């Protein structure tokens, strides 16, 4: 059954998902030109002039601009555009109801002062791969969808992958409704302000049932491909990871008049805990980071009443991760007691180990190696992804594109344009191999 032709069609404004695009049109641009043009358009959105980093947080103005960009790209290609109940954006070629769809995409939001590539590379590459396939005259035998998952980084509400978690039933609507940002704005209010209905959010099993495979292309967040000299790799697994909030409560007092022995200073136990996290992670071969801290009252001349620090920890296996976090918490309790400080530790999120679908992973490696005969590198990662969340519900795989700096979640994140275009071609090959058989 041929469900969609990769030809450029018209732009059905507001078309529902049942309006497949097909038909002739102007010749699509080559992968490189199409990638370059989209990248250029997206680049200024949400970029902070001072830091050069991106501040594209969920349901803010920058996020809205990114989402508008996605809609325009979908409509310019005659794809059937829709927003699902959780605010994730979809662009369909072919009839979603036919089922067994091949889906590709990533996210457009960022961490505070994030890089340009984490997320957007996957979304831009999805459109560019479709353009490449249209250039090849590819005919699909399965529906194809491009997706932008909402709030992947969790920079604003503290929980990563909210859009995909809701869809996969890994976060309930009630739990999502209780999320608040640093200014006390609740997620439902933020969604409303952005024009979305927070009462609609929840699991979407029917949508998931229509997906036969999800492939997310992502910039590599490490240097394995740079070291091996490869442009593109395939993911094997994601380390288990989570976020824990440590609240150290002491007593606010005057910084000039309070004797050291009389203080209940939570900053001291917090500082010792940061060092303990480093020690525990080193001992276990894991990672542990306190990357965000809030201090009250946050005055230069006041001993704090509260220091709230967020621990992000990740390890190759669950047992090691439990050991690291348990060790940090034990140390934190000892330091808190020594300083007369109260401590509460709350696990705010957790994602168990993800083993990507072996058959799909091998299929990707086979497709990518078929012309060259070369073996495609297969890499694990400590970074979380929507693909990891969906992997519990649908066969899921990831492609990584070389990042010579290895840096991510920072403006120094980088991928050379040639490598990005190689990523687009690899994704196009994968989509062709999966959706045209
Ligand atoms: C997201 O990129 C994460 O790994 O936290
Ligand atoms: Mn990220
Ligand atoms: Mn990402």
Q: Identify whether residues 342 and 368 lie together within a single domain.
A: no
Q: Examine the pLDDT at 10 and tell me if it is beyond 60.
A: no
Q: Examine the pLDDT at 23 and tell me if it is beyond 50.
A: no
CATH at residue 196: 3.40.630.10
Question: Residue 437 — pLDDT band, cuts 50, 70, 90?
Answer: confident
CA of 200 to the centre of ligand 3 (A): 25
Candidates 385, 387, 400, 413: which one to mutate for ligand 1, based on the most atoms within 8 Å of Cβ?
Answer: 385
CA of 13 to the centre of ligand 2 (A): 32
Q: Examine the pLDDT at 40 and tell me if it is beyond 50.
A: yes
Q: Identify whether residues 82 and 166 lie together within a single domain.
A: yes
Query: What is the per-residue pLDDT for 30?
Result: 77
Looking at residues 94-111, what average pLDDT do you find?
98
Looking at residues 68-85, what average pLDDT do you find?
98
Query: What is the per-residue pLDDT for 415?
Result: 98
Question: Residue 1 — pLDDT band, cuts 50, 70, 90?
Answer: very low
Query: What is the per-residue pLDDT for 287?
Result: 98
Q: Identify whether residues 108 and 74 lie together within a single domain.
A: yes
- The domain boundary, picked from 301, 320, 351, lies at 351
- Cα 181-244-332 angle, rounded to 5 deg: 125
Question: Residue 20 — pLDDT band, cuts 50, 70, 90?
Answer: very low
Q: Identify whether residues 72 and 183 lie together within a single domain.
A: yes
CA distance 162 to 84: 13
Q: Identify whether residues 171 and 213 lie together within a single domain.
A: yes
Query: What is the per-residue pLDDT for 28?
Result: 58
Q: Is residue 10 one of the residues assigned to a domain? A: no
Looking at residues 273-285, what average pLDDT do you find?
98
Q: Identify whether residues 358 and 346 lie together within a single domain.
A: no
CA of 53 to the centre of ligand 2 (A): 13
Report residue 276: phi and psi, to 5°. -65, -35
CATH at residue 318: 3.30.70.360
Q: Examine the pLDDT at 13 and tell me if it is beyond 70.
A: no
Q: Is residue 178 one of the residues assigned to a domain? A: yes
Q: Which structural domain range is residue 149 located in?
A: 22-239+353-435
Tokens, residue 14: 């507001």
CA distance 334 to 199: 43
Q: What is the 3-state secondary structure (H, E, C) of the chain?
A: CCCEECCCCCCCCCCCCCCCCCCCCCCCCCHHHHHHHHHHHHCCCCECCCCCCECCCCCCHHHHHHHHHHHHHHHHCCCEEEECCCCCEEEEECCHHHCCEEEEEEECCCCCCECCCCCHHHHHHHHHHHHHHHHHCCEECCCEEEEEECCCCCCCCCCCCHHHHHHCCCCCHHHHHCCECCCCCEHHHHHHHCCCCHHHCCCCHHHHHCEEEEEEEEECCCCHHHHHCCCEEEEEEECCEEEEEEEEECCCEECCCCCHHHCCCHHHHHHHHHHHHHHHHHHHCCEEEEEEEEEECCCCCEECCEEEEEEEEECCCHHHHHHHHHHHHHHHHHHHHHCCCEEEEEEEEEECCEECCHHHHHHHHHHHHCCCCCCCCEEEECCCCHHHHHCCCCCEEEEEECCCCCCCCCCCCCCCHHHHHHHHHHHHHHHHHHHCC
| Residue-averaged pLDDT of the chain | 93
Domain count, the chain: 2
Q: Identify whether residues 228 and 373 lie together within a single domain.
A: yes
Q: What is the pLDDT of residues 316-355, one digit of tens each?
A: 999 999 999 999 999 999 999 999 999 999 999 999 999 9
Candidates 108, 242, 383, 413: which one to mutate for ligand 1, based on the most atoms within 8 Å of Cβ?
Answer: 383
Q: Identify whether residues 345 and 235 lie together within a single domain.
A: no
Query: What is the per-residue pLDDT for 32?
Result: 86
Q: Nearest C-alpha to atom 3 of ligand 1 is from which residue?
A: 384
Give the global pTM. 0.92
Query: What is the per-residue pLDDT for 8?
Result: 37
Q: Nearest C-alpha to atom 5 of ligand 1 is from which residue?
A: 384
Query: What is the per-residue pLDDT for 170?
Result: 97
Looking at residues 169-195, what average pLDDT do you find?
98
């Amino acid at each position: 059954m041929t469900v969609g032709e990769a030809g450029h069609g018209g732009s059905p404004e507001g078309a529902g998902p049942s309006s497949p695009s097909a038909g002739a049109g102007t010749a699509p641009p080559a992968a490189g030109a199409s990638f370059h043009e989209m990248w250029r358009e997206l680049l200024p959105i949400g970029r902070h002039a001072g830091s050069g980093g991106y501040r594209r947080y969920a349901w803010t103005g920058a996020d809205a601009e990114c989402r508008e960009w996605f809609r325009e790209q979908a409509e310019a290609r005659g794809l059937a555009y829709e927003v699902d109940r959780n605010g994730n954006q979809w662009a369909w070629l072919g009839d979603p109801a036919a089922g067994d769809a091949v889906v590709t995409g990533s996210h457009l939001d960022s961490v505070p002062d994030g890089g340009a590539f984490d997320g957007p590379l996957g979304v831009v590459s999805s459109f560019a791969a479709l353009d490449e396939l249209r250039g090849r005259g590819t005919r699909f035998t399965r529906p194809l969808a491009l997706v932008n998952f909402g709030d992947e980084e969790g920079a604003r509400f503290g929980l990563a992958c909210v859009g995909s978690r809701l869809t996969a039933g890994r976060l309930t609507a009630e739990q999502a409704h209780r999320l608040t940002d640093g200014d006390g704005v609740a997620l439902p209010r933020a969604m409303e302000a952005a024009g979305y209905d927070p009462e609609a959010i929840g699991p979407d099993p029917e949508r998931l049932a229509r997906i036969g495979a999800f492939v997310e292309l992502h910039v590599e967040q490490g240097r394995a491909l740079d070291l091996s000299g490869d442009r593109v790799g395939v993911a094997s697994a994601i380390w288990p990871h989570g976020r824990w909030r440590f609240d150290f409560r002491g007593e606010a007092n005057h910084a000039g008049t309070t004797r050291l022995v009389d203080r209940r200073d939570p900053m001291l136990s917090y500082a010792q805990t940061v060092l303990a996290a480093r020690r525990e992670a080193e001992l276990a071969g894991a990672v542990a980071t306190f990357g965000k801290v809030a201090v009250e009252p946050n005055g230069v001349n006041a001993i704090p009443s509260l220091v709230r620090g967020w621990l992000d920890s990740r390890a190759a296996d669950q047992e090691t991760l439990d050991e690291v976090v348990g060790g940090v918490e034990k140390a934190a309790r000892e330091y808190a007691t020594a300083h007369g400080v109260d401590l509460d530790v709350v696990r705010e999120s957790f994602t168990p180990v993800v083993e990507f679908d072996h058959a799909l992973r091998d299929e990707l490696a086979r497709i990518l190696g078929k012309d060259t005969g070369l073996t495609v590198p297969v890499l694990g990662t400590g970074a979380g992804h929507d693909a990891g969340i969906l992997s519990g519900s649908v066969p899921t795989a990831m492609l990584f594109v070389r990042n010579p700096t290895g840096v991510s979640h920072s403006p120094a994140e980088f991928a050379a344009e040639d490598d990005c275009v190689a990523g687009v071609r690899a994704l196009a090959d994968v989509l062709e191999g999966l959706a045209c058989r």
